[in-house]
Amino acid sequence: MAAHSSTLADFAQRNRFALSDASSLPLYYQLYRLLERFIFERHLHPGDRFPAEDSIATAFDVSRPTANRATRELLDRGWLRRERGRGTFVGHASYVELALLSDELSLSAQFRGERQLLNRIVHCRTCTAPAVIAEALDLPAEAPVIEFRRLRSVDERPVLVSDAYLPASRFAGFDADHLVGGSLFATLRERFAVSVARCERWLEASELLSQEVADLLGVPLLAPILRIRGLAYAAHDDPIACMTTHVQEGVSFQATARSHPETQQRTAKTFAQTVEGEAAPLS
């Protein structure tokens, strides 16, 4: 324990400047992020005893309640496990690794082993397409679209919130509560005979500006997130689904996407507008 405390003190000395009362993020959340990095950088290993809250409070010059809340955040997110009568220990498989940038951009196909992907439909409705969505899907202005939002969790840990828009005229009767295998693409293929040929996607490091998405992910408003915007195409470069995904911290990626230059110019222009300040869909 003494060696671990010394390591924590050294880490805190190097990173104490990162804690700021002037930040828009709560102090406990800033501390949680630093302690998460402390584990991720392998200063401690799975099964090691985690420093006591008093030691954390002293090392980072914060109050005991702040250290307690940061530790609880680590417990809630699977970085730590608590054993009654023994103490708190570093957990196993605390972070999620996804191939979100694979050709189909499909999460469901990735989870066939020990880890479990859970889907919760937040809402599904028909609405008028926002201008940027209509342009991306090659629809007339104010055309009706199906818009639905899912919370996706891995082993009960909220990982991302995914929004999708589909042309209502093409997918009449679409029911988000009955996705085939939890997959949007499998549903389009099996129930509408429309297969996804490829996807284009754009990644943006940003802060979370939606209170609903923050509540779903269990993070503060303005927390750092990775936003992924995507367009799915059927054959002959026919756009069929427009997606925006908010991925919370602690998720890593394994693969890269292949772009298709024949349509890249049109779709890149559409999504560049959202980055430069126009209203982004459900952001």
pLDDT per residue over 11-53, tens digit each?
888 877 778 887 778 899 889 988 988 887 788 888 999 999 9
Q: Which residue is it, tokens 């915007």?
A: 229
Alpha-carbon 53 to chain mean position: 29
Q: How far apart are CA 228 and CA 141, in angstroms?
A: 24
Q: Which two tokens stand for residue 67?
A: 């250290």
Range list of H helices, the chain: 2-15, 27-40, 53-60, 64-76, 131-136, 184-192, 211-217, 261-275
Query: Where in the chain are the domains?
Result: 2-90, 96-275
pLDDT tens for the chain, 283 residues long, are 444 556 888 888 887 777 888 777 889 988 998 898 888 778 888 899 999 999 999 999 999 999 999 999 999 888 899 998 899 999 875 556 565 545 445 566 655 556 678 889 999 999 999 888 999 999 998 899 999 999 999 888 898 999 999 999 999 999 999 999 888 999 999 999 999 998 888 888 888 888 899 999 998 888 889 998 889 999 999 999 999 999 987 776 665 444 444 444 444 444 444 433 333 333 2
- pTM, whole model, 2 decimals? 0.66
Match domain 96-275 to its CATH number in 2.60.120.10, 3.40.1410.10, 3.40.50.620, 3.30.300.30: 3.40.1410.10
CA-based max dimension of the chain: 67
Task: Return the DSSP state at 86.
Answer: T
Beta strands 224-234 and 198-207: pairing type? antiparallel
CATH architecture of 2-90: Orthogonal Bundle (1.10)
The angle formed by the CA atoms of residues 205, 267 and 256, to the nearest 5 degrees, is: 50
Q: How far apart are CA 11 and CA 106, in angstroms?
A: 38
Please provide residue 78's backbone torsions phi and psi, each rounded to the nearest 5 degrees: 90, 0
